[in-house]
Amino acid sequence: MELSDYRARIDQIDRQLVELFAQRMNTAAGIAAYKKEHGLPVLDPVREREKLLDVAAQAPEDMRDYTASLYTMLFELSRCYQGRLLGSTSPLTTEIQTAIDQTPNLFPSNVSVACQGVAGAYSQLACDKLFKLPHIMYFASFEAVFAAIERGLCRYGVLPLENSTAGSVNAIYDLMMKHDFRIVRSVRLKVDHNLLVKPGTKRSDITEIYSHQQALSQCEQYLQAFPGVKIIPCENTAVAAQKVAEGDGHAAALSSRSCMKLYGLECLEAGVQDQGSNFTRFICISKNLEIYPGADRTSLMAVLPHEPGSLCRVLSRFYALGLNLNKLESRPMPERNFEFMFYFDLETPVYAPEFLQLMGELPSLCEEFSYLGSYSEVV
């Protein structure tokens, strides 16, 4: 047989498959209506397990695994279709819909913003990219930034969430959960660390180097060229520059160029981070959910049941709805025996019906679920 003959045969089989698939989905629609009338949930795990065993037994032995995979996807699509027909709403979908309707069209330009650190911190650069005229107030810790918004001292906060070299800032995720805050916008910043000293200090004079822990880890290889020099983490890269400016000429800081000007320092070496292009994503957070026009990114946190297949079930829900993920990260949960928490970022306009459907269904698949917000990212 020629390839074209095989393909003609496959086309013929597919016509039947598509027809049968449509019939199966239509039948599922009937089941959805029945379940709604009788108050039954769409998911019936017992029925699915029995069916999987049944179809696997019907399949030729070498086709069993493939048949089971095919049916797992068929159940997923069937449940997804049923969910759409039933218009599954949840308190979360209502909250999102209300925020879309009530948030003003324009992102504010002139507001009070809380940042961690002191003037010159990378957060300040992020603020300048996010707002036309921010009124920035600085706080000593991430927690204090949250407290300032909680107390109404500032409307927003701008904080680092992840870095392309050092990864996610788990402390921020934890505080987002603790305070039940939302992300309203994000910004991506290219971060260059520079070795800054007091004017006149030579490289051989340096006995200590200050910076934030994240910056130190982004320059880990570079710092190996300073054996015997004390590496000292501090609250912030700008605080590091301030310490150097106040010191006796034996210290250096890994900080931004704007800190150099701000604290009257000199740059001994520029762009010393281990990865040439080093980006940090900052988030703009608020106490209430606000969804501005154009929001096309959503951040979620979830703890999934500690059993085989739970992550797969969540991922196939994204897949069945055609929703793309641009972040998936796991992290062990403190004080839980190797149980994991997942960070998801998905890329889809908030107005897409599939998105609202996912928000209606996802919480019930997770042991714990946090919706961190829907927003757009400034690049």
Ligand X SMILES: O=C(O)C(=O)C[C@]1(C(=O)O)C=C[C@@H](O)C=C1
Active site residues: 280, 282
Out of 3, 4, 39, 44, the residue judged to bind ligand X by CB under 6 A: 44
Nearest alpha carbon to residue 231 among 256, 209, 254, 199: 209
Residue 56 makes contact with ligand X by CB under 6 A: no
CA distance 238 to 124: 10
Residue 315 makes contact with ligand X by CB under 6 A: no
Give least dist CB 43 to ligand X, A: 5
Among 11-19, 45-53, 162-170, 262-270, the segment contacting ligand X (CB under 6 A): 45-53
Residue 29 makes contact with ligand X by CB under 6 A: no
User: Of 124-163, which residues contact ligand X (CB under 6 A)?
Assistant: none
Among 42-50, 57-65, 108-116, 164-172, the segment contacting ligand X (CB under 6 A): 42-50
Task: Rank residues 43 and 325 by Cβ distance to ligand X and give the closer one.
Answer: 43
Residue nearest ligand X, Cβ-based: 78
Q: How many residues bind ligand X (CB under 6 A)?
A: 11
Task: Rank residues 44 and 208 by Cβ distance to ligand X and give the closer one.
Answer: 44
Residue 237 makes contact with ligand X by CB under 6 A: no
Out of 7, 9, 15, 47, the residue judged to bind ligand X by CB under 6 A: 47
Q: Count of CB atoms within 10 A of residue 245's CB?
A: 17
Out of 31, 92, 147, 229, the residue judged to bind ligand X by CB under 6 A: 31
Per-residue contact flags (x/-) with ligand X for residues 73 to 102, judged by CB under 6 A: --x--xx-----------------------
Task: Rank residues 145 and 320 by Cβ distance to ligand X and give the closer one.
Answer: 320
Nearest alpha carbon to residue 256 among 248, 246, 267: 267
Residue 43 makes contact with ligand X by CB under 6 A: yes
Task: Rank residues 6 and 21 by Cβ distance to ligand X and give the closer one.
Answer: 21
Q: Phi and psi (nearest 5°) for 211?
A: -175, 175
Q: Spell out the long-range contacts of 211-215 with Cβ–Cβ below 8 A and sequence spacing 24 or more.
A: 211/237, 211/240, 211/253, 211/254, 211/255, 212/236, 212/237, 212/239, 212/240, 214/160, 214/163, 214/166, 214/169, 215/240, 215/254, 215/255, 215/273
CA distance 32 to 272: 60
Nearest alpha carbon to residue 236 among 124, 334, 323, 72: 124
CA distance 201 to 252: 9
Among 40-48, 101-109, 184-192, 305-313, the segment contacting ligand X (CB under 6 A): 40-48
Task: Rank residues 31 and 352 by Cβ distance to ligand X and give the closer one.
Answer: 31
Q: Count of CB atoms within 10 A of residue 81's CB?
A: 18
Task: Rank residues 91 and 308 by Cβ distance to ligand X and give the closer one.
Answer: 308
Our measurement of the distance from residue 290's CA atom to the centroid of its chain's CA atoms, rounded to an integer in Å, reads 17
Task: Rank residues 74 and 144 by Cβ distance to ligand X and give the closer one.
Answer: 74
Among 6-14, 43-51, 121-129, 319-327, the segment contacting ligand X (CB under 6 A): 43-51
Our measurement of the distance from residue 190's CA atom to the centroid of its chain's CA atoms, rounded to an integer in Å, reads 18
Residue 48 makes contact with ligand X by CB under 6 A: yes
Out of 28, 183, 219, 234, the residue judged to bind ligand X by CB under 6 A: 28
Give least dist CB 63 to ligand X, A: 19
CA distance 10 to 5: 9
CA distance 288 to 179: 11
Strand 340-347, strand 324-332: pairing: antiparallel
Nearest alpha carbon to residue 228 among 246, 247, 210, 208: 208
Q: List contacts with ligand X (CB under 6 A).
A: 28, 31, 42-44, 47-48, 51, 75, 78-79
